[in-house]
Amino acid sequence: MSVLLLSPAEARVLASLVEKSITTPAYYPMTVNALVAAANQKSSREPVMSLSEGEVGHALLSLEEKALVGRDDSSPRATKWRQKFQHQLLLKTGTQAVLVTLMLRGPQTTAELRANAAALGGPAEAEAVQAALDDLADRAQPLVRTLPRLAGQSAVRHVQLLCGEPDLSALAAAEPPARGGAHPGLEARVAELEQRLASLEQRLSALGG
C-alpha cells in the first residue's frame, strides 16, 4: 500500500473542504475562491495561512490525483469541488471529525478535540474521542499519534500524521504558556463562536465570488 502524504497546503485545503461540507452545506460544493477564504480564515485555524488562488488550485489538482477530491459536474459555471476524504479513508463521521480538527487546528488535547470537533459531528464523550484517536493511530498507515507531554502541560496532545512526522522541537518552541485549565463550557462556547464566524466568512465569500 502506498503511503498517503499531504503538503501543508493540501491538508489545509482538504480539511477546509470537509469542514464546510458539514458546517455550511448550502455553499457546498465549493469554488476555488470560496476555498481560498476557507483555508485562510483566521478563526479555527492553526497555523493561520495565506494561500493564493494559484496555490489552492494546485493543491486541488494534487488532491484530485490522490482521489481525495473531485469536480462537481452539476455546476454549470465555475468549477466546484467535492471531498472524497471520508470514503477513501473509510472514516466514520466522528473519526473524520477528529482527524479534520487536527488538520485544521494543529495539536489538540482530548478535551480540546471534544469541544472543537463537535461542530463536525465529533464524539460527545471523552472516551469516544479516545476511541477515534485509537482507530486513527492503529491503522496500517497511522494517521495520528500522541505527543510526549511537555513541561507545564496538564494533558498530552495529539497530532495528525498526514503531513508526516511532526517536528517536536518546533512544537515545543511554539507551545504557549499553560492557561491554568480552561473551563470546558468556555472552550465549547469559544468553539461555537469561532464556527459562527467561519460560517459568516464563508457566506460573504460565496456572495462575492
- Segments of the chain scoring below 70 in pLDDT: 1, 169-192, 195, 199, 202, 205-206, 208-209
User: For the chain, where are the alpha helices, taking DSSP H only?
Assistant: 8-23, 32-40, 53-65, 85-89, 93-105, 110-116, 126-137, 168-174, 184-208
Domain segments of the chain: what residues?
8-88+195-208, 92-194
Grid cell for residue 11: 491538508
- Per-residue pLDDT of 2-28, as tens digits, reads 899 999 999 999 999 999 999 999 999
**Fold matches, 8-88+195-208 and 92-194:** yes
Task: Give me the pLDDT at residue 184, please.
Answer: 52
Domain formed by 92-194, architecture: Orthogonal Bundle (1.10)
Task: Give me the pLDDT at residue 84, please.
Answer: 98
Task: Give me the pLDDT at residue 174, please.
Answer: 57
In CATH, the number for domain 8-88+195-208 is 1.10.10.10
Task: Give this prediction's pTM.
Answer: 0.83
Task: Give me the pLDDT at residue 75, please.
Answer: 75
